[in-house]
Structures are given as structure tokens and as C-alpha cells.
């Protein structure tokens, strides 16, 4: 039988051998280049000269060009994508990326430690073990690995949703495209900070100035701008690093039992961890660490704005849980705020979405906390009077980290004879409507409503924002133009905008106009909670809007609700209930809502349980200790399904406390008040008796 000839002019057997050899060499080059890359960028300990690395890299690139079927997503040649993106896609975090509460001095740090011990039921003399890490001044990011390969990278965003910046994060050399070693979970989310080292930042600015371009103000801004590039090739040119600091999703595997051990495990899998991280016992150890790193701060190769302290043991973290959007078991001890003195040149009054009149100080520009500050909010006239502020005063301006700049005091002995008092105007500076101040409130308000262009602008900005209707492309600048040209006066008018009118605006054009119209059309499909939040009802934030949606299910039920009924909803008191009733009692507001629905804004009604199916309606439960067959979150969800309110603390109003092993102060409080207490076994029987399936 004659030998068959392959496509390359060789026998099929010969071609197969060549392919196998090529594949083997590609795999060898992958391993070598990942190893050398890790040694250079993560360990800062290169073992081969750059020329050797470059030679191997070019060999791999040539091999992949000849055999493209062997190109994989984790190949060292694939760090930088070929095509720029048109936009970043939104990513919903499967596990929210929470923020941290702050302390600013030793007294507050000791109070935090004491609170931790009380929550855990420990003696005041006990020493909790804390993991300590420098708080890098960069951008939080999430990396998702599946079977050890990087599949997605995202920004923190608002904590619930961020942006998919996978292609940009792949260009960061200290981010492994494939994990090294073994034993990692099938799905693993690693969280950390993308930052720009000081020397890289200085070099970037040198090159920018040499090219006649604008320099970045600080490394954090440079890092943020680098990650926002739609072309990953531009990001790849920026000297970015990624340092991991926590874990998110873990599926199909397990991790060590403490935060410190997990970070050390991540280091073995190829991640950069901070060389300054330590584990200490007790609050005195935390304070010593803070003081030591404060002295070392200026010599570090990266910017930090404080120290993060985390209860080290995951079991204790689980017992401590979360409050609002922050964990109870972690705190950021920020470095002292940076302060500068400047002159208050004038005070102007701005009008907000709800008509709130806010005094804004105009300053002699001053560089403080990494930015140039020329404007500062003075909050309200009570704050102006508290400070004793006059126009012409020398003022101390403070900015710490990302905190909004604020005037903290005046330098009274520098006050000039020409200083003038700050006076609240009698009428709105935008529409000349009367300004009124309700007794008991600190804020004065314009009475003009939507007659006031400023309130219209702010109402549209809020309506279009990401957490509300999420209308991509409808930003503040465009809204200002639309309002000033009277192209929109009611919220629903934005859905009546036409392509030709939009295209005629400066810097729009047909393509941008069509893109905005598409975004407007997409935004019409929303949720009941988002829609309620978008209306801008006073004191109705995201959480309150969601509670209202869950409680009433649809718009008709909510509009018909009395203040008494609204008071029964979690998170709503008499004041908020009154705001909601007054909002829907206003005919103009109801017309605005009807108009939006008529323009196609729609949502699915939320299924609301019949009160007869809520046997625990009106009862308040507290969960404490460790539950062995379920998480406390699961227990809370089951109680809420039965109509119960689940609180975080015990009081006379508490109906029952579910106490698992390790229950401390809450159990003691319940016993002191004579509140019913049940263990986990009784709790499970109770749930099953009310039809909750635990299987």
C-alpha cells in the first residue's frame, strides 16, 4: 500500500510528528516565559537577562504564527489584544465588592477593637489576631479564574456592578494569565489593587511632558486613566502592578482558614502580595504596625493612604458579618488628612435635584491631597455659621484620600478688614422662586420645582444615572444642553428626542445620536425598584426603593398606600412615609409617572406574598453565633420569606433570638431582657413546621 502524502508535502505520519514537536515546544515556552515573567514582575528577582527572555518570546511568537491552532488564551503572546473596544461592558459581581469603614486616630482604632471583642463575646483583655496590610492608593479590581486560567477582570464599580476590563488587566505583567502550582479551586475570584509605582509614574509624566502632553496629577489618577483605555495596547504601555488583598468566589475547592494564609497561598499560585503585610495580636500590635509603616511610608515604592486591619480568622469574620456595605471585621486606619491654608474668595449658591440650596466656597486654588482644589461645599448655612466663615477669610482645607475636600476651620487672626458676611439669598439664583427653610431642617430649598432649570437638570442626571435608569451616553454635559435649549422639560421628554435634533447638537453627529437613542430604548426595560429610585423621591435611595418594591409589588399598590402602611415597611419611618405619600399625591408627579409608562418604560411586577402566608409578619428575629447547617444569611432569608423582620441587635421589641455556637453579647442581652431564645435544632424544626424546605 502506497504511503499517503499530507498537505505539507510530507507523509501524514511525518506531519503528525512535526505538529507534536511544535506543540511540545509551545508548551515548554509557555512554562519558561510564565516562570521568567513571575520572577521579574512579582518576585523582583530575574534569573535570565532581558535578551534571553526576548529571544524565547520571539521564538514562541514565530511558532504560533506557523501553528495558530496552538495559540491559547493564557499564552504570554496574548497579553495584549489586537483590537480596541468600542465600550466597556457591565459586569454584575456575584459577590459584592464591599467598601471599608475608616478610623483616623488611635482612640477610634481602640474603639473598633473593643467593638469586635464585644460582638464576639470576648473579654476586654482578649487579643484578637489581625492581618495588617498597607492600603494601596489605586483602583480595586476583581480577577476570575476558571480551572486556573484568567477568564474575566472587572472594576469594583459601585460594589454591585463594575466594568469588564479583562483585556486591559491582561496587559498587567504581575497578573498571572494561568495560575502556577496546583490545588486551586475550579472557580476562584482574586481581588486586589491596580496601582502605579512611584518611579513608573515619574517616568510616565517625564515622557508625557517631553511629548508636549498633559502630565497626570498623581499615581492613582494615572492608574485609573490607564485602566479606562479602550485600546489595551495603550494600557500595556503604562507601568501598572496588581497586588492581591482578598478573595471572592470560591467554588470546586477550598482555601486555608485565615486571611493571612490565603494571601500566602495566592503568592504560591503566582500573585504579587505586599511584602509589608503582617499578622499581629491585639490592638496594640495594630497601633505599633501603623506607627512603623507611617515612618516608612515615604520610602515605599508606591503610594499608600493608610493601613487595613482585618480580623484574620474566617470563622470569626463569618460570625461578625456585615453592616450596610462594609464588613464589621475590617477597618481602614487612614493617615492624617493633608491640610493647606488658602483664601475664601467668594460664596455662591447652587440648586440641587430636590431644590436644596447649597453654599459653595470659591477658593484661591490650592494643591492638597494630590489634587488642586478651587471649590468646596459648605453644606448649609448652619455649617457656615458654625465655622464663623466670612468671605475673604483664610481657611484650612483638608482632603484625605478620596474624601471630598472640606473647610475645617478659619484662621481668625488673618481675617482682613474687608471680610464680608455670607448671606443666604431670599430667592433662587436660577429661577427667582422663593427660598424656604422648613423648621427643624438644616437645608433651605427653592420652591420652584421643575419650573427651576437647575432642579430639572439634576432630576435628569439622577434619572439617567447608572443606579437608576442606567442610560449610557446621557451625561451631565448633554443634559445641560438639552435643558438649556428647552428640548426636555419633563422626564419622559428624553424618550421623545429625535435623531435629527440630537445630531444637530455640538459634538454629537448622526452616529452618536443613534447610539444614544438605542441606549434610551434599551433603558425602558427596567425593574420596579430602579424605576422608583429614578423618580428622585426625597430620602428614597436604592435600598428603600427595593424595600418598597418588595412590599407593594406594583405601582398601583404603592400609590394607594397610606402613611401607616408605609411605616410597616422595613427601613421606612414617618418622615420618609410622608415624603412618599406627598410625592404621589401631587398631580404633576403622577402625570410624570404616567407619561413615562406611556413612552414605554416598563418592568415586571414583584411577587408579593399574601399576608395570610406570612405567619411571622410583625415579629422581629435576631440571628447570632455560628449556624452549622446553614449560613446566617440563609437563615435571614428564610425568616423574611415568612414575613419576619431580621434585626442586627437585641432590644425589647425582639420576638426571638436564634443562637448558634459562639453566641455572645446578643445572647446575654436576650437573657437579660427575657427574650425567647432557641438553638439551631429548634430553629430548623420551626422552619419546617412553617413549610420551609431545607433540603
Q: List, as one string, the DSSP characters of 43-62.
A: SS---S-HHHHHHHHHHHHH
Entry pTM: 0.56
> What's the pLDDT band for 7 if we cut at 50, 70, 90?
very low
Taking phi over 0 as left and psi of -120 to 50 as alpha, with beta for the rest, 251 belongs to: beta
Per-residue pLDDT of 291-319, as tens digits, reads: 999 988 888 999 998 999 999 999 999 99
Cell of 19: 505538529
Lowest mean pLDDT among 181-195, 444-458, 577-591: 444-458
Rounded average pLDDT over 243-266: 95
Q: List, as one string, the DSSP characters of 524-564.
A: TEEEHHHHHHHTT-TT--HHHHHHHHHHH-SHHHHHH--HH
Q: List, as one string, the DSSP characters of 56-83.
A: HHHHHHHHHHH-GGG--TT-GGGSS-SS
Rounded average pLDDT over 326-354: 89
Using an 8 Å Cβ cutoff, are 625 and 667 in contact? yes
Reported in sequence order, the residue ranges of 252-355 that DSSP labels E, i.e. its strands, are 278-281, 304-311, 322-323, 326-327, 330-334, 338-351
> What's the pLDDT band for 81 if we cut at 50, 70, 90?
low
Adjacent-strand bridge partners of 296: none
Q: Which residue has the cell 480568622?
A: 313
Same fold for the domain at 12-78 and the one at 449-523? no
Cell of 190: 482574586
Instruction: Give the closest residue to 411 by CA, choosing from 383, 392, 425.
Output: 392
What are the backbone angles phi and psi of residue 5, rounded to the nearest 5°? Answer: -100, 135
Lowest mean pLDDT among 2-11, 95-104, 612-621, 652-661: 2-11
Cell of 449: 420645582
On whether the 611-689 domain is CATH 3.40.50.10190, my answer is yes
pLDDT of residue 84: 61
Catalytic residue among 117, 135, 645, 666: 135
Taking phi over 0 as left and psi of -120 to 50 as alpha, with beta for the rest, 343 belongs to: beta
Rounded average pLDDT over 639-651: 79
Q: What is the architecture, at CATH level 2, of domain 340-421? A: Beta Barrel (2.40)
Q: What is the mean pLDDT of the chain?
A: 87
12-78 has which fold? Helix Hairpins (1.10.287)
Nearby residues of 595 by Cβ (< 8 Å), 6 or more positions away? 490, 491, 492
What is the assigned CATH class of domain 528-604?
mainly alpha
Instruction: Give CA–CA dist 242/226, Å, rounded.
Output: 13
Per-residue pLDDT of 417-433, as tens digits, reads: 999 999 999 999 988 88
Instruction: Give CA–CA dist 126/195, Å, rounded.
Output: 36
Q: List, as one string, the DSSP characters of 454-505.
A: HHHHHHHHHHHSTTTT--TT--HHHHHHHHHTTS-SSGGGGGG--HHHHHTS
* Residue 669 DSSP SS3: helix
Reported in sequence order, the residue ranges of 207-328 that DSSP labels E, i.e. its strands, are 241-251, 278-281, 304-311, 322-323, 326-327
Using an 8 Å Cβ cutoff, are 494 and 464 in contact? yes
Per-residue pLDDT of 120-168, as tens digits, reads: 999 989 999 999 999 998 999 999 999 999 999 999 987 888 899 999 9
Using an 8 Å Cβ cutoff, are 172 and 242 in contact? yes
Q: Is 135 a catalytic residue?
A: yes
Q: Give yes or no for residue 493 having a pLDDT over 90.
A: yes
pLDDT of residue 40: 62
Instruction: Give CA–CA dist 576/544, Å, rounded.
Output: 9
Cell of 553: 409589588
CATH of the domain spanning 109-334, picked from 3.20.20.70, 3.30.470.30, 1.10.357.10, 3.50.50.60:
3.30.470.30
What CATH number belongs to 449-523? 1.10.150.20
* 328 vs 74 pLDDT, higher one: 328
Q: Which residue has the cell 503585610?
A: 277
Best-predicted range by mean pLDDT among 96-110, 247-261, 610-624?
Answer: 247-261
| Cβ neighbours of 575 (radius 10 Å) | 9
Cell of 610: 399574601
Cell of 313: 480568622
* Residue 355 DSSP SS3: coil
Instruction: List the domain boundaries for the chain.
Output: 12-78, 109-334, 340-421, 449-523, 528-604, 611-689
Adjacent-strand bridge partners of 344: 363
Inter-residue long-range contacts of 405-410, CB under 8 Å, 24+ positions, other chains counted: 405/368, 405/369, 405/371, 405/373, 405/376, 406/376, 406/377, 407/344, 407/361, 407/376, 407/378, 408/339
Strand order from edge to edge, sheet including 676-678: 645-647, 620-624, 656-659, 676-678
Instruction: Give CA–CA dist 173/180, Å, rounded.
Output: 15
Cell of 637: 432569608
What H or E segment, with its residue span, contains residue 393? none
Lowest mean pLDDT among 86-90, 177-181, 478-482, 611-615: 611-615
Instruction: Give CA–CA dist 241/587, Å, rounded.
Output: 55
* 30 vs 366 pLDDT, higher one: 366
Instruction: Give the closest residue to 137 by CA, choosing from 280, 338, 282.
Output: 338
Using an 8 Å Cβ cutoff, are 305 and 100 in contact? no
Amino acid at each position: 500500500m502506497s504511503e499517503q502524502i499530507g498537505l505539507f508535502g510530507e507523509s501524514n505520519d511525518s506531519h503528525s510528528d512535526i505538529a507534536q514537536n511544535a506543540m511540545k515546544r509551545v508548551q515548554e515556552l509557555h512554562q519558561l516565559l510564565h516562570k521568567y515573567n513571575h520572577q521579574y514582575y512579582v518576585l523582583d528577582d530575574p534569573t535570565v537577562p532581558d535578551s534571553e527572555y526576548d529571544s524565547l518570546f520571539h521564538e514562541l511568537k514565530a511558532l504560533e504564527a506557523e501553528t495558530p491552532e496552538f495559540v491559547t488564551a493564557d499564552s504570554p503572546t496574548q497579553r495584549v489584544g489586537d483590537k480596541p473596544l468600542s465600550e466597556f461592558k457591565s459586569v454584575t459581581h456575584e459577590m459584592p465588592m464591599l467598601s471599608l469603614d475608616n478610623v483616623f486616630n488611635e482612640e477610634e482604632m481602640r474603639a473598633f477593637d473593643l467593638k469586635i471583642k464585644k460582638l464576639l463575646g470576648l473579654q476586654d483583655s482578649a487579643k484578637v489576631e489581625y492581618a495588617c496590610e498597607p492600603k494601596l492608593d489605586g483602583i480595586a479590581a476583581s480577577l476570575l479564574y476558571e480551572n486556573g486560567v484568567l477568564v474575566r477582570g472587572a472594576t469594583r464599580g459601585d460594589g454591585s456592578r463594575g466594568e469588564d476590563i479583562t483585556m486591559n488587566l491582561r496587559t498587567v505583567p504581575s497578573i498571572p494569565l494561568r495560575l502556577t502550582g496546583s490545588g486551586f479551586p475550579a472557580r476562584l475570584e482574586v481581588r486586589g489593587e491596580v496601582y502605579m509605582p512611584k518611579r513608573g509614574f515619574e517616568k510616565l509624566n517625564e515622557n508625557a511632558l517631553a511629548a508636549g502632553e498633559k502630565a497626570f496629577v498623581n499615581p492613582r489618577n494615572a492608574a485609573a486613566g490607564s485602566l479606562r483605555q479602550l485600546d489595551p495596547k495603550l494600557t500595556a504601555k503604562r507601568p501598572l502592578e496588581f497586588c492581591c488583598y482578598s478573595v471572592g468566589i470560591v467554588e470546586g475547592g477550598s482555601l486555608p482558614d485565615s486571611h493571612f494564609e490565603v494571601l500566602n497561598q495566592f503568592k504560591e499560585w503566582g500573585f504579587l502580595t505586599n511584602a509589608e503585610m503582617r499578622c499581629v495580636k491585639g490592638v496594640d500590635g495594630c497601633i505599633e504596625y501603623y506607627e512603623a509603616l507611617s515612618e516608612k511610608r515615604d520610602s515605599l515604592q508606591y503610594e499608600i493612604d493608610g493601613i487595613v486591619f482585618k480580623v484574620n480568622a474566617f470563622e470569626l469574620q463569618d460570625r461578625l458579618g456585615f453592616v450596610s456595605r462594609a464588613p464589621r471585621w475590617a477597618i481602614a486606619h487612614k493617615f492624617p488628612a493633608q491640610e493647606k491654608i488658602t483664601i475664601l474668595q467668594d460664596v455662591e449658591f447652587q440648586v440641587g435635584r430636590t431644590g436644596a440650596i447649597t453654599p459653595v466656597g470659591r477658593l484661591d486654588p490650592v494643591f492638597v491631597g494630590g489634587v488642586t482644589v478651587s471649590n468646596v461645599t459648605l453644606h448649609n448655612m448652619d455649617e457656615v455659621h458654625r465655622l464663623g466663615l466670612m468671605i475673604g477669610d483664610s481657611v484650612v482645607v483638608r482632603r484625605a484620600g478620596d474624601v471630598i475636600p472640606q473647610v475645617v476651620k478659619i484662621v481668625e487672626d488673618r481675617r482682613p478688614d474687608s471680610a464680608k458676611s455670607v448671606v443666604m439669598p431670599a430667592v433662587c439664583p436660577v429661577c427667582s422662586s422663593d427660598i424656604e427653610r422648613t423648621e427643624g431642617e438644616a437645608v433651605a430649598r427653592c420652591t420652584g420645582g421643575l419650573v427651576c432649570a437647575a432642579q430639572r437638570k439634576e432630576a435628569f442626571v439622577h434619572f439617567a444615572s447608572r443606579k437608576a435608569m442606567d442610560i449610557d451616553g446621557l451625561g451631565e454635559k448633554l443634559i445641560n444642553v438639552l435643558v438649556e435649549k428647552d428640548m426636555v422639560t419633563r422626564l419622559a421628554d428624553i424618550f421623545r428626542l429625535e435623531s435629527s435634533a440630537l445630531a444637530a447638537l455640538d459634538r454629537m453627529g448622526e452616529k452618536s445620536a443613534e447610539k444614544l437613542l438605542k441606549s434610551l430604548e434599551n433603558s425602558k426595560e427596567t425593574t420596579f425598584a430602579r424605576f422608583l429610585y429614578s423618580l428622585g423621591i426625597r430620602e428614597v435611595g436604592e435600598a428603600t426603593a427595593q424595600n418598597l418594591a418588595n412590599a407593594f409589588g406594583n405601582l398601583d399598590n404603592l400609590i394607594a398606600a397610606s402613611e401607616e402602611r408605609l411605616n410597616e415597611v422595613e427601613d421606612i419611618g414617618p418622615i420618609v412615609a410622608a415624603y412618599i405619600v406627598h410625592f404621589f399625591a401631587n398631580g404633576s408627579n403622577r402625570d410624570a409617572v404616567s407619561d413615562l409608562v406611556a413612552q414605554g418604560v416598563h418592568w415586571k411586577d414583584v411577587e408579593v406574598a399574601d399576608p395570610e402566608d406570612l405567619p411571622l409578619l410583625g415579629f422581629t428575629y435576631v440571628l447570632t453565633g455560628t449556624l452549622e447547617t446553614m449560613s446566617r444569611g440563609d437563615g435571614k432569608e428564610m425568616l423574611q420569606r415568612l414575613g419576619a423582620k431580621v434585626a442586627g441587635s437585641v432590644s425589647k421589641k425582639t420576638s426571638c433570638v436564634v443562637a448558634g455556637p459562639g453566641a455572645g453579647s446578643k445572647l446575654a442581652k436576650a437573657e437579660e431582657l427575657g427574650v425567647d431564645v432557641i438553638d439551631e435544632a429548634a430553629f430548623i424544626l420551626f422552619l419546617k413546621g412553617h413549610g420551609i424546605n431545607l433540603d
